[in-house]
Amino acid sequence: MSSLENFSNAIANSLWSFIRTQSIEPEARNNSLERCKVEIKNVLAKVEDELNKLCKTSEDAEKHFQEQKAEIEKALETLSEKMKKDEEQADLEHAKKEGMLKIANAEKEKKAVHEGLRMELEAMFTLAELFQKLLKAIQMTIDKIAEKKEHRELENEQTLEQILKQIEGVLERGQISKEFSQVVQTIFEPLNQMYNSLMNSQKLGSESEKPILDSIPKETNASLIRQLSTDYEQRLKAMKDQAARQEEEEERRFQEKFQQRREARTKKNEESRREQKRIQEEQDEKRKKMDEQQKIFDEERERRRRELNEHIKKVEAENKREIEEMNRKCAVEKMRFETEQELRRERFENDVHKNNEQMDEKNRAHEEEMTRRAEENRKADMEHLERIRRMKEEFLRNREKSKKMWEEKMEKMKQQYEQIKQAFKYRIWNDIIERNWTNRLNFLRSANREVARSYSYFQSAANNLQYRLNSAQVPEITKEKQLVQPYLFALLQAIDSEQSIMNKELETLQEMFDKTGKSFVIQIRQSLTLVINACAEFKSALNNYKNVLESIDNISTGEHSNFIEHIRRASAQLSSCSSSIPTLAELKTKYQKEMKSQEGNTHRDVVRVHEQTVIIEEIE
């Protein structure tokens, strides 16, 4: 703070001596200005040091709050471990909520303190920048006076005045503490007086009129920054004490509630022990009866086991006799099989020898046949070559004849091609339009498939709900209601999609009717209007059913049956309207004369059909 006071005094003395002795040598004036600059730098360094201290204090406060938060969280964890052993889960949740509330309160207090410190630091930095600008502006003014310019510009005066107004605005907003505001006011008042004196000296140009700089306060304000730090530490300590008191009060209340719950739990445990003792006595009585029954069962089981062992011995003796008899029979059968096997082997060897002799005879006959066929093939090849020669000669004669006939036919075909080309040119657009209209009408007629599929799912779920209503199963009714709603929403979405498709198609058909004026477009629009109205009626019935399901807990069987019947009729009406959309064959039968007019042979008709086709393709 002493640096700030020295700065203000040095600036005032330097300016006063400079204004009073303007005829001094340039070297002395430069030395005076250099001293002013050095003092300005020192003061700015001091201000930055104080700001760094305040920032460090803010960081220490934030660190303290983080430590306090960590301690509270650690205490909550310790408390949670104790509560897991001593009390129920509800008590643990309650303690956690109270701890989280403490953390939230501490966070709010920390944010409030940080916000105040942030605003105060921003205001201090703003004042430091404004003071720096003010000093630079004063230096520029002094330089102009030193250079003895006759035509002084007003830009620096306006700058000084604006900076002073900005400093006054920051002080009036009250964003900084009262102590720091007093320090800033101590610096600001001498600078303001210095500015007024400097302006008066420039205007009057007289040395006899001394500026009002002698009124600068001389007392020191070095202790104000320390008072700021001390006040902040006291406020921080008070906040810590208040938080500790609140924590002790919350701990005391928690211990009282915990003691009450422990007494209630002890009483409940005593009753539970008595009930367990009674149950244990009943179980002992039942166990005695079961032991007696088990003893009787064991005796019966032992008797049956002896009988079973005797039966097993008898069966084993019988099986042993049967096995010996089977072994004897197997030995006789084995001897007979070996004798038959030897006879079969001898017959097989004789058959193999006979087959080998027959195969040799067949091979000799095959070789003779192959020799004969080779000779026949050679003769056939000679005859084939002769036939090929004659065919080539015949081909050359026929080719010359065909060439002449081909040239004549080509001439005729060129003429026919030109005719077909012209006919095809006018026909191709009608074929394209016919395909587009076929696809368009088939798409509109099949737009109801998604609605029909969704309705089948919805109808199945609604029938299940009707069955539950008839059997008066209340839990199953609630479950079936929940199952019906997804199918109901899917059906509503499918109806909205079909209705949107039909509305867009109506707009498209209106544009086409305005451009072409064809009557069959009106019939298509009328059928689409019927489909849209049927969709609206179907959607209204479903919405009424949805409102009834959501608003009424128990719906009667008759009401539900009436709603389902109404929905079924609306669905049937929509399907009928969708089927009533005409096909291209029906339109061609009814408007045959008008369709033929589309197939005009003039160039104007071709152009009109082409434009219509382009419109259809763009809309699709």
What count of Cα atoms within 13 Å lies in the side-chain half-sphere of residue 166?
A: 17
The model's pTM is 0.33
CA dist 48 and 4 (Å) reads 12
Give 267 or 161, the one with higher predicted confidence.
Answer: 267
Report the number of secondary-structure helices (H) and strands (E) in the chain.
13, 0
CA dist 84 and 95 (Å) reads 12
CA dist 252 and 243 (Å) reads 14
pLDDT above 70 for 531: yes
The region of weakest confidence among 281-290, 421-430, 506-515 is: 421-430
- pLDDT for 6-31, tens place per residue? 544 555 455 455 444 444 455 665 66
Phi and psi of 21, rounded to 5°?
A: -120, 70
pLDDT above 60 for 515: yes
- pLDDT for 200-227, tens place per residue? 655 544 443 333 333 334 343 445 445 5
Minimal CA–CA distance to 1: which of 159, 217, 193, 207? Answer: 217
CA dist 567 and 543 (Å) reads 10
pLDDT value at position 190? 59
CB–CB of 64/236 below 8 Å?
Answer: yes
3-state secondary structure of 4: helix
CA dist 44 and 131 (Å) reads 9
Q: How buried is 577 (Cβ within 10 angstroms: 0-12 exposed, 13-18 middle, 19+ buried)?
A: buried
**Backbone CA torsion sign across 567, 570, 576, 577:** negative
CA 111, chain centre distance (Å): 32
- pLDDT for 546-589, tens place per residue? 888 877 566 778 888 888 899 899 889 988 898 888 888 888 88
pLDDT above 80 for 96: no
Q: How buried is 95 (Cβ within 10 angstroms: 0-12 exposed, 13-18 middle, 19+ buried)?
A: buried
pLDDT value at position 213? 35
- pLDDT for 376-418, tens place per residue? 888 888 888 888 888 888 878 888 887 888 888 788 888 887 8
CA dist 17 and 2 (Å) reads 22
pLDDT value at position 214? 38
Residues 6+ apart with CB under 8 A from 561: 466
CA dist 3 and 6 (Å) reads 5
pLDDT value at position 93? 67
Q: Which two tokens stand for residue 239?
A: 């906040």
Residues 6+ apart with CB under 8 A from 460: 487
Q: Average of pLDDT values for 167-186? A: 59
Minimal CA–CA distance to 488: which of 552, 566, 546, 564? Answer: 546
Q: Which two tokens stand for residue 251?
A: 């701990």
- pLDDT for 333-388, tens place per residue? 888 888 888 888 888 888 888 888 888 888 888 888 888 888 888 888 888 888 88
Minimal CA–CA distance to 139: which of 44, 212, 36? Answer: 36
Tokens 């095959």, located at residue = 366
Residue 448 DSSP one-character state: G
Read off the pLDDT band of 533 (50, 70, 90). very high
CB–CB of 222/1 below 8 Å?
Answer: yes
CA dist 207 and 229 (Å) reads 45
CA dist 9 and 445 (Å) reads 98
pLDDT value at position 21? 47
pLDDT value at position 10? 52
Domain regions of the chain by residue span: 2-66+122-243, 427-619
CB–CB of 546/592 below 8 Å?
Answer: no
pLDDT above 80 for 457: yes
CA dist 561 and 564 (Å) reads 5
pLDDT value at position 278? 82
CA dist 417 and 412 (Å) reads 8
pLDDT value at position 614? 32
Tokens 């070996």, located at residue = 338
CA dist 113 and 491 (Å) reads 58
Dmax (CA) for the chain in angstroms is 163
Q: Average of pLDDT values for 86-100? A: 64
Minimal CA–CA distance to 50: which of 112, 131, 163, 109? Answer: 131
